[in-house]
Amino acid sequence: MLSRKGIIPEEYVLTRLAEDPTEPRYRARERRARFVSKNGNCNVAHKNIREQGRFLQDVFTTLVDLKWPHTLLIFTMSFLCSWLLFAMVWWLIAFAHGDLAPGEGTAVPCVTSIHSFSSAFLFSIEVQVTIGFGGRMVTEECPLAVLVLIVQNIVGLMINAIMLGCIFMKTAQAHRRAETLIFSKHAVIAVRHGRLCFMLRVGDLRKSMIISATIHMQVVRKTTSPEGEVVPLHQVDIPMENGVGGNSIFLVAPLIIYHVIDANSPLYDLAPSDLHHHQDLEIIVILEGVVETTGITTQARTSYLADEILWGQRFVPIVAEEDGRYSVDYSKFGNTIKVPTPLCTARQLDEDRSLLDALTLASARGPLRKRSVAVAKAKPKFSISPDSLS
């Protein structure tokens, strides 16, 4: 009935009915949890934090880290609470001086035109926001009222500075700029300069540059020490190679960042058969630099699991020279093509270089063979006999 109504596909219902309920069913191992998601968020949940008071020691950072609804609520309540508090103070001053008593208009009041709590609340707003409508003002009759006026102005300036600074920092946070720093969806492993290399592509969609841009890579996996200690998130740095030298990059156009898999690489024993979702492997990529327009340091992150690494692939070129300048085709940013690559680990390739030589020879014969076949199939449309020349 459910399949007839379209709620459950019919093939699923037939499969479930064909199963034997007495036979045990085994669930496949789920995909490894990410340490860093593709958009750069850290997949870490902090639990059982006992010293919650440490967050209040840095109130400004705590306010900036809050979500927007909570920040706007605190922004509104801070002003409302301060207005109500000083409104109560002004009302008490007027009540103690007798300004609220009706029929006594000869005495000079502490604050003119205050007859109720509503008028005291309006005067509190006028003082703190410096509106100054002109109907209410402090007289020199009460020195206490002058002191409260000074205190409320100072408190109002402090609240304005903290809350406006918090709003500005939230709107100008560094991770906003990181939204236009992009990484390729997949990483690839192929031969470059006679060595197996781990490669990825990074680019910047904005014209404003990232100054002093640096990039780092780490391998995160579960390891066990010789003493039996289990390290669930063991982080190992991966050295990189680029034309500039070191970890600095000049990110004007998309770049291919690559790591040579040598004897010092944590990927030295990685084989093509290991690139599946069961493999406990995650490669984290961190790009950071200074935003040219704001001077704020920004950081963009991503990660690649084992099944997101393509063996024997290479990124297609996307930078071309057109009309006297270079153009970038971002529609092909993550496109790859297959290239001849040894199906072995980097260790095996270093021990037996003949695997690479045979692969190079086979790739060189391929185009030559195709070209010879094409020439053999081409027939001349006419011929010249020797007799015709005589």
Task: Kindly state whether residues 146 and 60 are assigned to the same domain.
Answer: yes
- pTM exceeds cut of 0.85: no
Task: Kindly state whether residues 213 and 155 are assigned to the same domain.
Answer: no
Which of 126, 156, 172 terminates a domain? The answer is 172
pLDDT of residue 330 exceeding 60: yes
Selected residue with higher pLDDT from 297 and 242 = 297
Task: Kindly state whether residues 224 and 354 are assigned to the same domain.
Answer: yes
Task: Kindly state whether residues 151 and 195 are assigned to the same domain.
Answer: no
Task: Kindly state whether residues 122 and 210 are assigned to the same domain.
Answer: no
pLDDT tens-digit readout, 191-230: 988 889 999 999 999 888 888 888 899 998 888 888 888 8
Q: Report residue 311 as tokens.
A: 């063996």
pLDDT tens-digit readout, 108-126: 888 888 888 999 999 999 9
Contact partners, residue 388, CB within 8 Å, separation at least 6? none
Task: Kindly state whether residues 183 and 163 are assigned to the same domain.
Answer: no
pLDDT tens-digit readout, 359-376: 665 555 554 444 444 444
CATH number at 225 reads 2.60.40.1400
Closest C-alpha to 172, from 41, 64, 38? 64
CATH number at 160 reads 1.10.287.70
Task: Kindly state whether residues 146 and 238 are assigned to the same domain.
Answer: no
Give a yes or no: residue 146 inside a domain.
Answer: yes
Residues 299-315 have a mean pLDDT of 92
Task: Kindly state whether residues 142 and 201 are assigned to the same domain.
Answer: no
Task: Kindly state whether residues 159 and 242 are assigned to the same domain.
Answer: no
pLDDT tens-digit readout, 256-296: 999 999 888 899 999 999 888 878 889 999 998 888 888 88
In whole angstroms, what is the distance from residue 83 CA to residue 129 CA? 10
Mean residue pLDDT of the chain comes to 80
Per-residue pLDDT at 248: 78
Task: Kindly state whether residues 166 and 252 are assigned to the same domain.
Answer: no
Residues 320-345 have a mean pLDDT of 90
Task: Using pLDDT thresholds of 50, 70 and 90, give the confidence band for residue 386.
Answer: very low
Task: Kindly state whether residues 156 and 297 are assigned to the same domain.
Answer: no
Which of 133, 154, 172 terminates a domain? The answer is 172
Per-residue pLDDT at 28: 46
Q: Say how many domains are in the chain.
A: 2
In whole angstroms, what is the distance from residue 255 CA to residue 248 CA? 12
First to last CA, the chain: 92
In whole angstroms, what is the distance from residue 116 CA to residue 114 CA? 6
Task: Using pLDDT thresholds of 50, 70 and 90, give the confidence band for residue 185.
Answer: very high
Task: Kindly state whether residues 139 and 192 are assigned to the same domain.
Answer: no
Range of the domain at 312: 177-361
